[in-house]
Structure 1
């Protein structure tokens, strides 16, 4: 992160992701028009700290859900609305708005034994060599963090600011999108939804104690 990028992220007036946060704020307050409540109608105490505790275990589904998955579940079960597609403007905007309510809060994954198998599976994926380049996430983001790849600095792979605004994308994107970009980069088969959830769980565990940056800006 260059000083100019850090300054862009820290200033709400300069951070382009705040456009998505503003849209998310409107979605948060808007009822779906079918007699069901708006998000704000149920979550009257706000969402401070919530994003820092996801993924979390869902009792009805008996599996973990990421924040974006939980948003879509609330949309379908509480508001009787069709789920938003992955990477849609609406889903990213609402996730960015909810995440921004926890900006500066330390990441604190739930201490739930039911999550451990998923976290362990995520760590195994993180350390597994994959693709035609035969590389693992750990080889880049631990062993070579701070080095350079094609002129760009290799980051330490800490998922502290998603959804993020990437200059490369000229827009917002989710952590699964970034992970799928990486698998494409090493010429590996795309990860499925369960694998993406497992990897996100491990990355949030790995970032435990760091402060949430949502909505972050990256190169």
Structure 2
């Protein structure tokens, strides 16, 4: 039964799912205009920094990202749409930021980056931006099915001192308000994104951590197996929605 549900999640969205709304749909026209502005979107500063890093050869003497993969606009188009994906060496899935950092370590001989560092956020924002406008298309690798199920379990499990699950807010109460804040459906279409509350760029893992802190639960570590599983489920839940990174959010 769970395998059948996983296949349904990976299928193109049916007409019944047309009422799905992203954070962009729920924003004010002013914030939508800021996100759409090719100059005024603050997340583009990270994209430009990531483009420079992608093209620059490291001081280890190894090839640059572009030297291995080619022009980013072509080579990276569609990549973000299918992550998280399986890593053969680790024998488990990794998210896009994890894959980028693994490439740096394995092929360029560079030390790993901090998960919320500007450098890793910039590279991830640049790669993700090459898939802007493309539909989320989860990797159908069957080895990911069990991880998606784990992610669904996390999404529906009550946790923290407030004894709340992700699903209670983002499925059952989506469209309502928590104090003055609108409760979104929670589709991860824009990460990494620029959040006005943060005054900087941030990853989906950071958003997970904020939510868990909000229900007074102990957050998992950035890049953890739990967050990768949760992202796999959310990407399946959002299949067919367009990538909009770098997004703006309140």
Q: TM-score, normalised by structure 1?
A: 0.98
Q: Which residue of 2 aligns with 1:35?
A: 61
Q: CA deviation at 1:46?
A: 2.1
What SS class does the counterpart of residue 7 from structure 1 fall into? helix
Aligned equivalents of 2:40, 2:178: Cα separation in 1: 28
Q: Which residue of 2 aligns with 1:154?
A: 183
Aligned equivalents of 1:39, 1:174: Cα separation in 2: 21
In 1, are the aligned partners of 2:60 and 2:110 still within 8 Å (CA)?
no
Aligned equivalents of 1:49, 1:174: Cα separation in 2: 19
Which whole-Å deviations, capped at 9, do the CAs of 1:182-211 have from their partners, x for residues lacking one?
000000111241111111111111110000
Instruction: Give 5+ residue unaligned stretches, structure 1.
Output: none
Aligned equivalents of 1:188, 1:110: Cα separation in 2: 30
In 1, are the aligned partners of 2:50 and 2:125 still within 8 Å (CA)?
yes
Alignment partner for residue 244 of structure 2, among 189, 213, 216? 213
Q: What pairs with 1:6-45 in structure 2 (closer than 5 Å)?
A: 6-44=32-70, 45=74
What SS class does the counterpart of residue 57 from structure 1 fall into? strand
Aligned equivalents of 2:38, 2:215: Cα separation in 1: 35
RMSD: 0.8
Q: Which residue of 2 aligns with 1:182?
A: 211
Alignment partner for residue 121 of structure 2, among 71, 75, 92? 92
Instruction: Give 5+ residue unaligned stretches, structure 2.
Output: 1-26
Alignment partner for residue 106 of structure 1, among 119, 135, 143? 135
Q: CA deviation at 1:11?
A: 1.1
Q: What pairs with 1:168-207 in structure 2 (closer than 5 Å)?
A: 168-192=197-221, 193-207=224-238
Q: TM-score, normalised by structure 2?
A: 0.86
